[in-house]
Structure 1
Amino acid sequence: MAKIDEFKGKTIEETLKELGTSLERGLSTKEAQRRLKQFGLNEIPEKEEPLWHRILRRFWGPIPWMIETAAILSAIVKHWEDFVIILVLLFVNAGVDLWQEHKALSALKVLKEKLAKKALVLRDGKWQLIEAKYLVPGDIIKLKIGDIIPADVKLDHGGDYILVDQSALTGESLPVTKKPGDIAYANSIVKKGEIVAIVVATGLDTYFGKTVQLVAKAEKEERSHFQEMVIKVGNFLIVLTLILISIMILVEINRGKPIIDLVQFSLVLTVAAIPVALPAVLTVTMAVGALYLAKRQVIVSRLASIEELAGVDVLCSDKTGTLTMNKMTVSIPFTVNGFTSEDLMFYAALASKEENNDPIEIPIFEWLKKHNLYEKVKRCKQEKFIPFDPVRKRTEALVKCEGEEIYVTKGAPQVILELSNKAEFDEKVVVKKVEEFAENGFRTLGVAFKKPNEEKFHFVGLIPLYDPPRPDSKEAVEEAKKYGVEVKMVTGDNIAIARYIARILDIGEKI
């Protein structure tokens, strides 16, 4: 079967032929079961470590071996008080570490509940709701607004387009438009529209699955700097102890001391040299740090990672949703012909549908509420509304305000300009402003209106939209720099947007 990238260049007919499926009937139940055995479940396989293994892991390794050796030697020389204390320290160290890991794993399980669970699939010519993990390549599924896409799919029919939020995968601030023939990725979210699609990849074969595999590859078991430091301290003390014992035995043998006394003294010296309390003290200290971080909504899956983070000198941070709000906001509007910002946002709202929850329109209504203009919009009634589509690149509405009807439109500035009466404003100034907004990575909307008996629209102005930094992002970056940590921004978003956000946060403009 072709790989996901190869499906991008195939037509719908070629895809259907490659996958041996039909848009009319989908797969048969028998064929779906056969493919399920061939490709496996549509989920990211997770090897859950057994509890017994997690417990025993705490007693296996150079540091536990040293403590266990100290306990055995204490028992041999019959120092039972030392034996009990060492065992208590050993179990405290293991218990605290196990407890912290258990809490982290429980929190992570809750987060994983957000993954896609159900899918509407065409099997045997009938639409049915099944668990998403039973999807196979060749299944025909239906996607609608609010759905988490359960697998990599090739879009087909049932709608002109859908808006998909794939920011978690690519870092793009805004939902992207996907048309029939395009590929949509697993675990992205449908923000607008409805469409029928063909499943082309499931599980680890999806774009999301390959990302998980890369992360897993980077997370191969390795010793942290913290563990290496503790082992080095332990090794140094052991070597030093062996040297001292060797010297002591040689000297005392020459003096005629009994061998039994020398062995007993050597065992006592060895027990004293092993840092039995060191792991327990360090574990408890880091557990306190993990509790402090938990109050700040930070999940610590490994206690050693706290020390690892404290030792970093370069911090790579995701942009969308981490450094920024992942929520579009209105910047400073631009108007022409004496129109005000209030006029611009009012007409823009009339050309929008609040109930659609379009990410582009939400900030317009928020701006109006903030400036106490929301009620003015509610006094108007939409008689007719034409939604945005990738061909027209604008919305349009017929609105009745105070007994008067007007047409309002908003969308791509170039499209709105062509519909407007250019004699009323300086087109060069507007185009220059559009270019200026584009250089900063803003998504810009043009807004215009006209009366029913007019041919051309009256251009009102431009609304620049962007995903702003979080209120505490700049402070966090400055604090990191103060501690000698260099912050790098990682994003798959537009380079102009990345440069603009980097400039605001003082990360640097070398992108």
Structure 2
Amino acid sequence: MTDEKLLEIRDWHSRSVEETSELLDSPSKGLTQEEVRRRLEVFGRNRLTPPKRRSASARFFSQFTNVLIFVLLGASVVTAVLGEWVDTGVILGVVLINAIIGFIQEGKAEAALEAIRKMLSLQASVQRDGRRLDVPAEELVPGDLVFLASGDKVPADLRLVRTKSLQLQESALTGESMPVEKSEQPVAPDAPLGDRTSMAYSSTLVTYGQGTGIVVASGDRTEIGRISSMLSQVEPMQTPLLAKMAVFGRWLTVAILALTAAIFAVGVLWRGYPVPAMFLAAVGIAVAAIPEGLPVVMTITLAIGVTRMARRNAIIRRLPAVETLGSVSVICSDKTGTLTRNELTVRAVRTAQRVYEVSGTGYAPRGAIFRGEEEVSPEAEPVLLEMARAAVLCNDASLHEEGGHWTLQGDPTDGALLTFGMKSMLDPKAEGAERPRDDLIPFESEHKFMATLHHDHHGRGEVFVK
């Protein structure tokens, strides 16, 4: 099959492993370096194409292209012609402040949108020329054989060919909070994205197990690349405020012109006033009828709203968009990672005799354990301490502190249990050294448990099950 035909295939999830390998000419020993170079020329590098960015000057001058600013600039010209320099200065000052605030906020918003293009992993483990290599993710091409392990970020869209208890966190694509168990078995051609268990998609995270997959899409042709392309193609929409101001401006212009024309005609034709005097009078009435204070107040109000929202880490790209929020009646939002942080926390522990409550949120191991209103020490509660030890040892997750912020590598449920163990004054590394793991039964949907076998250096073995 030609390279152009391969680019048109989207249903890799429904094709068998053998068919996928044959179509992509992907041998078990991996691609040769010569073939990789050829495919790089055909398919391009495995990175998202950055959108065309406007220059700083273009972003600044774009702040002067809405109807509110046009009204203000028109009012400033009229007041300058009439010699009202104080009013002119105030109006131009408002316009300039609005432009500066909009310029800064738009720069922050574009920087935030840039983050999606940094979601590809930096390195990938591949099979080439019969050897396993670590290569930059940018150099992956369709047909490459990629190895996945717990903690890896998937570097491209892969058709899985081998799995061993493989689970992926796909909340970045589907919003599903729980890891998805993967297999190499094909699924139906019309299966939705979240049900394509034979695929591993770029930017998702391996939380458990191991797997091997063939690259079927890279760069902009990945699912995350399609999302990035759709974001860059969103057409700008006029906000309700600007739409109403445009209508108001047209009606006001017509009304003012009609009024001044009528006054000019009456004064000249009926009352016999000189034409120059009536013209100046008509202009004065027109200027007085322009509500230059309205756009000033509206612009200042919107700028204050943007500043307040920025303090709460809400980035507003366009100044008038603040008003749009006031017109919202229904909000449809993804929950996982948006309204929530995709973090689980142990809140209560139940033994055969007692119920304990655990304080603290997230993965930071800061908190206490209570029995009723009384804080208890896990060392004084043997059953509680053993449950905490099981939570630490029967666990494949790890927690890392970076700049005062704790991050999880692994499954969110494992992360919550590990945090509970650390709140119980247990050190995962010390526990692992004192009771090394000898074997494990990984969690699978068929038996719905995980078990680990440990020894304590004194000939005593222990099995922990969760």
Pairwise TM-score range, normalised by the shorter structure: 0.7 to 0.9
Of stretches 12-21 and 118-127 in structure 1, the one that deviates more from structure 2 is 118-127
Residues 1:306 and 2:310 aligned together: no
Q: What is the letter of the counterpart of residue 32 of structure 1?
A: R
**Counterpart in the other structure of 2:174:** 170
Q: What secondary structure is seen at the aligned counterpart in 2 of 1:156?
A: strand
**Counterpart in the other structure of 2:262:** 247
Aligned partner of 2:39 among 24, 32, 35: 32
Following the alignment from structure 1 to structure 2, what is the Cα–Cα distance between the partners of residues 94 and 19? 52
Specify every segment of 5 or more residues in structure 1 that has no aligned partner in the other structure, as ranges: 411-444, 446-511
**Counterpart in the other structure of 2:15:** 10
Of stretches 99-108 and 76-85 in structure 1, the one that deviates more from structure 2 is 76-85
Aligned partner of 2:415 among 337, 340, 362: 362
Residues 244 and 263 from structure 1, CA distance in 2 versus in 1: closer, same or farther, beyond 3 angstroms? Answer: same
Count of residue pairs the alignment pairs up = 407
Q: What is the letter of the counterpart of residue 155 of structure 1?
A: L
Residues 142 and 268 from structure 1, CA distance in 2 versus in 1: closer, same or farther, beyond 3 angstroms? Answer: farther
**Counterpart in the other structure of 2:71:** 66
Residue 78 of structure 1, CA deviation: 6.0
Q: What is the letter of the counterpart of residue 256 of structure 1?
A: G
Following the alignment from structure 2 to structure 1, what is the Cα–Cα distance between the partners of residues 454 and 139? 47
**Counterpart in the other structure of 2:367:** none
1:41-65: CA deviations, max 9, x gaps? Answer: 6315423223333233223343333
Q: What secondary structure is seen at the aligned counterpart in 2 of 1:315?
A: coil
Specify every segment of 5 or more residues in structure 2 that has no aligned partner in the other structure, as ranges: 1-5, 186-197, 355-381, 399-408
Aligned partner of 1:209 among 205, 220, 225: 225
Q: Any conservation in 2 of the 1:224–1:308 contact (CA below 8 Å)? A: yes
Residues 1:260 and 2:267 aligned together: no
Of stretches 17-26 and 242-251 in structure 1, the one that deviates more from structure 2 is 17-26
Q: What is the letter of the counterpart of residue 153 of structure 2?
A: I
TM superposition score normalised by structure 1: 0.67
Q: What is the letter of the counterpart of residue 324 of structure 2?
A: E
Following the alignment from structure 2 to structure 1, what is the Cα–Cα distance between the partners of residues 267 and 47? 71
Residues 1:384 and 2:389 aligned together: no
**Counterpart in the other structure of 2:309:** 293
Following the alignment from structure 2 to structure 1, what is the Cα–Cα distance between the partners of residues 433 and 144? 48
Following the alignment from structure 2 to structure 1, what is the Cα–Cα distance between the partners of residues 353 and 101? 69
Following the alignment from structure 2 to structure 1, what is the Cα–Cα distance between the partners of residues 353 and 251? 80
State the percentage of identical aligned residues. Answer: 28
Of stretches 390-399 and 57-66 in structure 1, the one that deviates more from structure 2 is 390-399
Q: Cα RMSD between the aligned structures?
A: 3.7
**Counterpart in the other structure of 1:226:** 241
Residue 9 of structure 1, CA deviation: 1.4
Following the alignment from structure 1 to structure 2, what is the Cα–Cα distance between the partners of residues 378 and 330? 21
TM superposition score normalised by structure 2: 0.73
Following the alignment from structure 1 to structure 2, what is the Cα–Cα distance between the partners of residues 55 and 323? 33
Following the alignment from structure 1 to structure 2, what is the Cα–Cα distance between the partners of residues 61 and 316? 28
Q: Any conservation in 2 of the 1:97–1:283 contact (CA below 8 Å)? A: no
1:343-387: CA deviations, max 9, x gaps? Answer: 555545554456585533333333344456779967962351225
Following the alignment from structure 1 to structure 2, what is the Cα–Cα distance between the partners of residues 337 and 52? 70
Q: What secondary structure is seen at the aligned counterpart in 2 of 1:263?
A: helix
Residues 90-489 of structure 1 mapped to structure 2, 5 A cutoff: 90-109=95-114, 113=118, 115-122=120-127, 130-157=135-162, 160-180=164-184, 182-215=198-231, 219-254=234-269, 255-330=271-346, 344=387, 346-347=389-390, 349-352=392-395, 358-371=411-424, 381-382=435-436, 384-388=438-442, 390=444, 394-400=449-455, 403=458, 405-410=460-465, 445=466
Q: What is the letter of the counterpart of residue 382 of structure 1?
A: P
Residues 268 and 101 from structure 1, CA distance in 2 versus in 1: closer, same or farther, beyond 3 angstroms? Answer: farther
Residue 125 of structure 1, CA deviation: 5.9
